[in-house]
Structure 1
Amino acid sequence: MNATTITSSAPPANAADLVSPSHRRTTYYWKCDRPAAFHGTTGRTDAGTLQSALKQALQEKFPSARLSLEPGHGQGNHITFIATVDEARRFVRVEDGPEKDNYLIVESRVLHEVRTLGLPAPRVHAVDASRESVPFAWQMLDLVDAPDLNHFQKKGELDLPRMAGEIGAAIARWQCAEPAGYGPFDPAQVMETNTLCGFHASYEDYFFLHFERHLRYLTHQQLLSSREAAEIESEVLLHRPLLALNQGCLVHKDLALWNILGTPEGVAAFIDWDDAISGDAMDDLSLLACFHDGPVLARALEGYQMLRPLPTEHRRRFWLHLLRNMIVKAVIRVGAGYFEKSDGFFLIGSGSSGQNLQTFTTQRIASALQGLRGDLPVASL
């Protein structure tokens, strides 16, 4: 398959032959559930070994352009580069995992959807997940000339409650997208019909993927006791009826300040949609609560309600998803060694340590469980 340029609503010809079966069908969250768990977090291929091959692939895509390439020094689980194509600077991401994941195709379609809804997000200029000419998938996007908001938060320069209102309104706006199905989107559907369709027929099926395994892992690693894990499982099962959704909405699924570019004055772009799913309206709001407290969440809810009413049982749905997301984040943080890192790591606040992050993680799991049990106000977090 040649690189696909995302410039129109039509899928490429013979799309059904271009997409191999996806591991995403059987994952709740890619970073910890993928067959090569924690790939790109505990170690990665030297970007220098990819640069030459990537430059050749880009030159084939843009044969008449003057093209240069330099490392992008990204902190996520993709290898990143900055490309100059004639006079335009672009951002390039590489997925080099052994699973040959093709979700960059999906993310490119999601970004098109988000931009169509009027939200700030990078434009995709080209994507190739075929691995026919190079042994990795790549995606070229706009280079947004702005730091992430976490940069300003660490320096104490961000009015986070005010910004949370803007973020909450953006969540409400992208929830206008209501894809078919639930969970991660099927790349084959994107290629064949140019539509976003979740792999799962019910949201409950997606929500419980690897739930017990995640809890067992945390008890084995002694982050949770067996009693704590049993209490969590019991409370989640008690609120299982909340998962009976009639319609999913677009969920970013990795919403955090480091995935929002801009300045203290406003958002320039929402980025890193490569974990996006069709899911619950309270999921992205609960993801903010994985890092921030009640006053910030209260402002996010205010911004959300300016465009969209809160769903029924919104408090318990919020706590239920906060609990599920914190369990996943705990699995990643343990497995990828985040608790051993210093405050130079993007996830750890200035002056804090990995031990502080571990304490925060266990406390936030306990708070989510308490909130779910008591149907507590979100602002009580």
Structure 2
Amino acid sequence: MSNRKAIHYWKCDRPSAFYTLTNDRLTTSDSFLIEKSLMQQLEKWFGNKPFSLRKAGGQGNHITYLAEYGTETYFLRLENGPEGDDYMEIEARVLDLVRETGVPTPKVYAVDATRSEVTFSYQMLEFCNYPDLNKLHKERNLDLVNLAGHIGGNIAKWQSITPAGFGPFDPGLLRDGGQLRGLHKTYPDYYFLNWNKHLNFLVEGGLLNETEAEDMEILVGRHKKYLELDHGCLVHKDLALWNILGNAEGIKAFIDWDDTICGDPTDDLSLLACFHSGEVVEAAIRGYQKIRVLPAHFLTRFWLHLLRNIVVKAVIRVGGGYFDRKSDFFLLGSGATGTSLRDFTKQRIQTACEGLQSLKQIKDL
């Protein structure tokens, strides 16, 4: 096993990044072996009483199943990448801590990332039988501005969790002593990790030219003093509508904490700005302010983190071929295309740069 100390963001920095989504690359033989092993684990949990197992589908980076036992249904997430990543145990601990703050998350019934009995990491979770909010948004069945206020309030709640260190957490420390600690000593160590690599990748991929990348590097460097943090807070790091379950009445669960870190309190708010308008983001900020005061130099830090996050999103989108996808892809809105996603991504990078340079208001997004 290896930790994530060299990883800024798993989906673009893992050694096997971009080789295709997990569910798409499974052969029939792979599926058979995984399901056989999974059935053996379920027999240990459920005993000889009857249960069933079926694929849950999904477009994410995990293999997913539903197990039915009596009147209960359980959600199973598996990770079988070649890196032997063991972050699922971190995520399980974070799910419990977040739920203790009053934020809804699925209960964790079992987790094992050691690969000592099976060839994959797995979680057995409470099944939250609600759609993700991105589905409702694409169907135009969501009051997103109103909902954003509730999202912001929940962000403020989970920021009461303040682990030691910065960046991704150390699974070894969690396993040996129950400690949740980031792998980096300083926040700039994490923020700038693979920064030049990501910019160069976007130049090679044709999304940026060399002058744009150099200007971005200089611009962020000019503001790096705002990244000096005495301590961090819990950050979801993949906060998007497809990672929130619920209905038109409200939020039922925040899911997929497998990229969670200890970082800056503006980070998750800026992640919303990778996808949504200034009106939506401002609503989230108002919801946040009902519970927590905005940090010092909020606007500068917000633009710094929007820029860092949209660069990461751009790397994933270029490397994963997202700009060639059709409207049925989960990241695209109704009627949108890969080309329109490319244009939006480039525009949002430019807006983040302009925001940082002249401290534009968030409503200008």
Per the shorter chain, which TM-score range? over 0.9
Does the 8 A contact of 1:315 with 1:375 survive in 2? yes
1:229 aligns with 2:210: no
SS at match of 1:26: coil
Alignment deviations for residues 204-223 of structure 1 (CA, whole Å, 9 cap, x no partner): 00111100000000001111
- Indicate yes or no: 2:332 matched with 1:344: no
Aligned residue identity for 2:221 = L
Equivalent in 336, 353, 356 of residue 337 of structure 2: 353
Q: Is the 8 A contact 2:187 2:229 kept in 1?
A: yes
Query: How far apart in 1 are the matches of 2:86 and 2:360?
Result: 40
Offset of residue 48 of structure 1:
2.6
C-alpha separation in 2, matches of 1:334 and 1:70: 33
User: Whole-Å Cα distance in 2 between the matches of residues 223 and 27 of structure 1?
Assistant: 22
Corresponding letter in the other structure for 1:26:
A
What do residues 184-206 of structure 1 show as CA deviations (whole Å, max 9, x unaligned)? 01111111222211001100001
Judge which range, 131-140 or 265-274, deviates more. 131-140
Distance 1:86 1:171 in 2: 36
Write the deviation string for residues 127-172 of structure 1: whole angstroms up to 9, x where unpaired: 1112122111111101001000011100111110000000000000
**1:275-327 superposed Cα distances (whole Å, 9 cap, x missing partner):** 00000000000000000010001100100000000001101101100000011
Match of 1:10 in 2: none
CA contact (8 A) 1:164 1:296 kept: yes
**TM-aligned CA deviation for residue 265 of structure 1:** 1.3
Q: Specify the alignment match of 1:37 in structure 2.
A: 17
Instruction: Give the distance between the partners of 2:104 and 2:19, measured in 1 at CA.
Output: 29
Q: Matches of 2:158 and 2:211 in 1, distance apart? A: 39
- How far did residue 38 of structure 1 move? 2.6
CA distance in 1, matches of 2:311, 2:336: 21
Indicate the residue corresponding to 2:163 in structure 1. Answer: 179
Contact 2:2 / 2:83 at 8 angstroms: preserved in 1? no
Match for 1:325: what amino acid? Answer: N
How far the C-alpha of 1:45 sits from its partner, in A, is: 1.8
- Residue-by-residue CA offset, 1:234-257 (whole Å, 9 max, x unaligned): 101101001100110000000000
CA contact (8 A) 2:75 2:126 kept: yes
Q: 1:196: which partner in 2?
A: 180
- Counterpart for residue 126 of structure 2: 142
3-state SS of 2:252 partner: strand
Are 1:28 and 1:210, in contact at CA under 8 Å, matched by a contact in 2? yes
Aligned residues: 361
Output the CA distance in 1 between the equivalents of 2:136 and 2:71.
29
Alignment partner, residue 25 of structure 1: 5
Alpha-carbon spacing, 1:182–1:146, altered in 2? closer, same or farther (3 Å): same
TM alignment of 1:310-349, pairs within 5 A: 310-349=294-333
> What 5-or-longer segments of structure 1 have no aligned partner?
1-19
Q: For 1:240, which of 210, 215, 224 is the aligned residue?
A: 224
> Residues 259 and 90 of structure 1: is their aligned pair in 2 closer, same or farther, counting only changes over 3 Å?
same
2:153 is equivalent to residue 169 of structure 1:
yes
How do 1:87-102 and structure 2 match up within 5 A? Answer: 87-102=71-86
Partner Cα separation in structure 2 for residue 113 and residue 38 of structure 1: 31
Give CA-to-partner distance per residue, 1:59-112, whole Å, 9 cap, x none. Answer: 223334432110010111001000113321010001010011000000000001
2:48 counterpart of 1:48 = no
Look up the SS of the partner of 2:5 in the other structure. helix
How far 1:21 sits from its partner (Å)?
3.5
CA contact (8 A) 1:186 1:196 kept: yes
> How far, CA to CA, are the matches of 1:224 and 1:117 in structure 2?
41
* Amino acid of the structure 1 residue aligned with 2:31: G
Say if 2:148 and 2:283, in contact at 8 Å, map to a contact too: yes
Q: What letter corresponds to residue 88 of structure 1 in structure 2?
A: E
Distance 1:306 1:99, change over 3 A: same
Query: Quick one: distance in 1 between partners of 2:89 and 2:133?
Result: 26
Which is further off, 183-192 or 171-180?
A: 183-192
Cα drift, residue 378 of structure 1: 1.5
Contact 2:89 2:171 in 1 (8 A): yes
Stretch of structure 1 that moved more, 128-137 or 277-286: 128-137
Q: Kindly provide the amino acid, as one letter, of the partner of residue 309 in structure 1.
A: V
User: Aligned partners of 2:47, 2:237: CA distance in 1, in Å?
Assistant: 36
In 1: Cα distance, 2:300 partner to 2:364 partner:
13
SS at match of 1:363: helix
Give 1:62-81 correspondences, 5 Å limit. Answer: 62-81=46-65
> So what's the TM-score if we normalise by structure 1?
0.93
CA contact (8 A) 1:95 1:136 kept: yes
CA RMSD of aligned residues (A): 1.2
- Tell me, yes or no, if the aligned pair for 1:40 and 1:76 is still in contact at 8 Å: no
